[in-house]
Amino acid sequence: MLWLLAAESRKLIRPLVWGTGLVITGFCLLITWGGANNARAALASPRIPDVCARAVTAPCGQVVTRAHAAARAAASATSLLAQPGEIGHVAAGMFASVPGLLLIAVVAGGHWGGEWGSRTIRQLLSRQGRRSRVLTAKWLTIWAAGVAAMACCWLVLAVAAPVIVAAAGLPAAHVSVWAGLGSSASAIGRASVVLGLFAAVGTAAGVIARGQLATTAITAGTMLLALLLAGMASVGRLSPATFVQAWMDFGTPGYLPTNFWSRFVSGGPPPGELAGLLGMAATGAVAAVVARWRFTADVTV
Amino acid sequence: MDVISCENLTKRFGPAIAVSELDLAVSPGQVYGFLGPNGAGKTTTIRMLLGLIAPSAGQIRLFGRRLPDPRAVAQAGSMIEEPAFYPWMTGRMNLEVLAATGGGCVPGEVDRVLGLVGLGDAARKVKTYSQGMRQRLGIAAAMLGRPPLLIIDEPANGLDPAGIREIRGLLRGLAAEGTTVFLSSHLLAEVEQVCDRVAVIVGGRLVEEGAPAALGAIRRRVRVEVAAADTQAAARLLTRWPARYGNGQFLVEHDSGRDVNGTLLAGGVVAESVTVERPGLEDRFLEITEKEDARAVAAGR
């Protein structure tokens, strides 16, 4: 099994994988840049009701003061979140939400679905006849690619984000570089579990679709459908997307968003953290059963 | 114990029967030819031998182990149809990954097989390889780890005459060292020159099986054209061999034109032309189906 894992890991060293990781990291940098700029703009001109902007009255004075204080607080929060220790929340949130899902979908397509498209599945299965091992190795390596990309993203953001907020002119955070490292690491750990779920869906999608593009489409489509369902009051609580939301406990995004997930999930109070974890485990188990069942079929490519 | 043993092997794809009640037995150290026209069921049989597709009926044993035992398949090196590789890797990396997939191999093994097929260092990416180079790499991949059984599908595809001769010598050399080679081809000359034993499959059914020289599908025959006045005399002289007359020509089931011509001359008949020919598989198939139809008519069916 270790030899097989080594072989599968080596297959991941390809432009498709690191290119996609680079794009998502670039996206995170862009989000950070945008968030810092928005915070600066809000600091320069806080949101004040029109009536108070024209009239100088005592009540309006209080409104203006509160608006300035809120803008300062938001700017400070953005600045704090952009510190190397804290910025792990952004990396974790991004990879446990839509950007991470897209990364896993693309990697699953190339790394797994592509085995059928390029017909290398014949070599793979005639070398390694234990199909359950092949499935496990594929799942683990797709997951590992996601976790590695998330770690790289955190590293890049840890270096670049403080520079970005300083360049944007936001107030300094005045905290240690390591502040928030523990909670960031915890968020990264939780996001790794979510990436495991995405990878399980991708592995099942590969066996069903048996092609690169179709695998990517089914992986992304399945979870995006789950996200759509999570917004519906009637069935939302049973959607895998709701389980992810409950497990990650995504909060309301500030100027610097920490996820692309929570804004799509509504429909009452989410289930608890444990329920979220169990829900994800059940979803992963369903994906595993589907994958094993479909993988017993003939390989005719 | 037979290396390959198939009993009553049948594969159906919906209503279509790809392989029908096939019985095969391949002894250790043999080069066994599996001959048939395109679409005869050769590749389907090979896929079943490698556990890629499951038989609809019947059973396969490799080294005495009944498939789908993965330990049996692990003892076979294989190349099916046009070999497929990971295009972003070099030829050497592809072999290293394949070796690891099967559980690794001894140091220097990749160099050994690359040397055997004349591919040198294989440092270029596979996407730049010609078809002949891919074919050589496919044969090298099949030989990785010195498997006791080689299953090779159409090894001559894409090779120039020198390459075909080289690979033929390589396969004979492997058989001399004790490797069993199961070789599928649609080329009569190829199997005739390299195989100890041949099975002919047409329309999914085993038509003939035996030593190459004894097979009707391979055996030469002599076509004789005589003047109309000499037809009766020639027919009398040629009775020592099975012969048919049609379209002004005799078709004599004998492999020596010299013998046939000598007999005619001794009887005072001078042939207009004497041609030694080898029937194609399709011709042989038509003959067989004609015979079967005639038998059915005679039986009043």
Long-range contacts, stretch B96-99, CB < 8 angstroms, 24+ apart: B96/A10, B97/A7, B97/A10, B97/A11, B98/A7, B98/A123, B98/A127, B98/B141, B98/B144, B99/B144, B99/B145
Cα B74 to Cα B178: distance, rounded to the nearest angstrom: 17
Looking at the complex, does the CB of residue B104 fall below 8 Å from at least one CB of chain A?
yes
Query: Do residues B166 and B20 share a domain?
Result: yes
Q: Write the CATH number for B129.
A: 3.40.50.300
Query: Do residues B264 and B150 share a domain?
Result: no
pLDDT for the residue numbered A103? 95
* Cα pseudo-dihedral A225, A231, A234, A238, rounded to 10: 60
Is B286 a member of any domain? Answer: no
- Nearest chain A Cα to B71, which residue? A129
Looking at the complex, does the CB of residue B83 fall below 8 Å from at least one CB of chain A?
yes
pLDDT for the residue numbered A231? 83
Q: Is the peptide bond before A171 cis (omega within 30 degrees of 0)?
A: no
A18's tokens: 């690191």
ipTM of this complex > 0.85?
Answer: no
pLDDT for the residue numbered B246? 86
Interface contact A129-B68, CB threshold 8 A:
yes
Please give the average pLDDT of every successive group of 10 residues along chain B, which has 301 residues: 92 92 92 86 93 93 89 89 90 93 84 87 85 89 92 85 84 88 84 85 85 71 90 90 88 89 92 83 60 63 53
Longest dimension (CA), chain A: 82
Query: Do residues B70 and B87 share a domain?
Result: yes
Is B93 a member of any domain? Answer: yes
Query: Do residues B250 and B144 share a domain?
Result: no
Looking at the complex, does the CB of residue A132 fall below 8 Å from at least one CB of chain B?
no
Query: Do residues B262 and B132 share a domain?
Result: no
Long-range contacts, stretch B38-42, CB < 8 angstroms, 24+ apart: B38/B186, B40/B186, B40/B201, B40/B202, B40/B203, B40/B204, B40/B281, B41/B11, B41/B201, B41/B203, B41/B204, B42/B153, B42/B184, B42/B186, B42/B201
pLDDT for the residue numbered B60? 94
Nearest CB to B52; choose among A7, A11, A122: A122
How large is the C-alpha radius of gyration of chain B?
23
Interface contact B104-A3, CB threshold 8 A:
yes
In angstroms, the separation between the Cα of residue A296 and the nearest Cα of chain B is 9
How many Cβ contacts (< 8 angstroms) between chains A and B?
Answer: 79
In angstroms, the separation between the Cα of residue B168 and the nearest Cα of chain A is 22
With contacts defined as CB-CB under 8 Å, which chain B residues touch A124? 101
| Cα atoms in the Cβ-side hemisphere of radius 13 Å centred on A68 | 7
Cα B220 to Cα B202: distance, rounded to the nearest angstrom: 19
Tens-level pLDDT at each residue, chain A (301 residues) = 888 999 999 999 999 998 999 999 999 999 999 988 888 888 887 777 777 766 667 777 788 888 888 888 888 888 878 888 889 999 999 999 999 999 999 999 999 999 998 999 999 998 887 899 999 999 999 999 999 999 999 999 999 988 998 888 887 777 777 777 888 999 999 999 999 999 999 999 999 999 999 999 999 999 999 999 888 877 888 889 999 999 998 877 778 888 888 888 876 677 888 999 999 999 999 999 999 999 988 888 8
A-facing residues of B in 129-168 (CB < 8 A) are: 141
pLDDT for the residue numbered B287? 66
Query: Do residues B127 and B269 share a domain?
Result: no
Domain boundaries, chain A: 2-38+84-295
Looking at the complex, does the CB of residue B98 fall below 8 Å from at least one CB of chain A?
yes
Query: Do residues B172 and B28 share a domain?
Result: yes
Q: Write the CATH number for B256.
A: 3.30.70
Is B299 a member of any domain? Answer: no
Q: Enter the pTM of the model.
A: 0.84
Q: Residues B176-214, buried b or exposed e (16+ Cβ, 10 A)? A: eeebbbbbbbbbbebbbebbbbbbbbbbbbbbbbeebee
∠ CA B54-B56-B62, nearest 5°, is 50
In angstroms, the separation between the Cα of residue B261 and the nearest Cα of chain A is 51
Number of structural domains in chain B:
2
Where do the DSSP E strands lie in chain B?
Answer: 4-13, 16-26, 31-35, 57-62, 65-66, 76-79, 149-153, 180-185, 197-202, 205-210, 221-225, 243-246, 249-252, 273-277
With contacts defined as CB-CB under 8 Å, which chain A residues touch B70? 128-130
Query: Do residues B266 and B136 share a domain?
Result: no
Cα A123 to Cα A115: distance, rounded to the nearest angstrom: 9
pLDDT for the residue numbered B39? 82
pLDDT for the residue numbered A249? 86
In angstroms, the separation between the Cα of residue B263 and the nearest Cα of chain A is 54
Alpha helices by DSSP H, chain A: 2-11, 15-44, 50-54, 58-81, 88-95, 98-108, 114-117, 121-127, 131-167, 181-209, 212-230, 240-248, 273-295
Nearest CB to A118; choose among B70, B74, B84: B84
Interface contact A126-B78, CB threshold 8 A:
yes
Range of the structural domain that residue B196 is part of = 4-214
With contacts defined as CB-CB under 8 Å, which chain B residues touch A126? 50-52, 73, 76, 78, 80
Query: Do residues B184 and B233 share a domain?
Result: no
* Cα pseudo-dihedral A170, A175, A177, A180, rounded to 10: -100
Cα B228 to Cα B230: distance, rounded to the nearest angstrom: 5
pLDDT for the residue numbered B201? 86
Query: Do residues B64 and B209 share a domain?
Result: yes
Query: Do residues B210 and B176 share a domain?
Result: yes
DSSP of A45-108: S----HHHHH---HHHHHHHHHHHHHHHHHHHHHHHHTSTTTTHHHHHHHHTSHHHHHHHHHHH
Interface contact B47-A127, CB threshold 8 A:
no
With contacts defined as CB-CB under 8 Å, which chain A residues touch B84? 118-120, 122-123
Is B119 a member of any domain? Answer: yes
pLDDT for the residue numbered B290? 62
Is B94 a member of any domain? Answer: yes
| Residues whose CB is less than 8 angstroms from the CB of residue A167 and which lie 6 or more positions away in sequence, other chains included | A36
Query: Do residues B260 and B152 share a domain?
Result: no
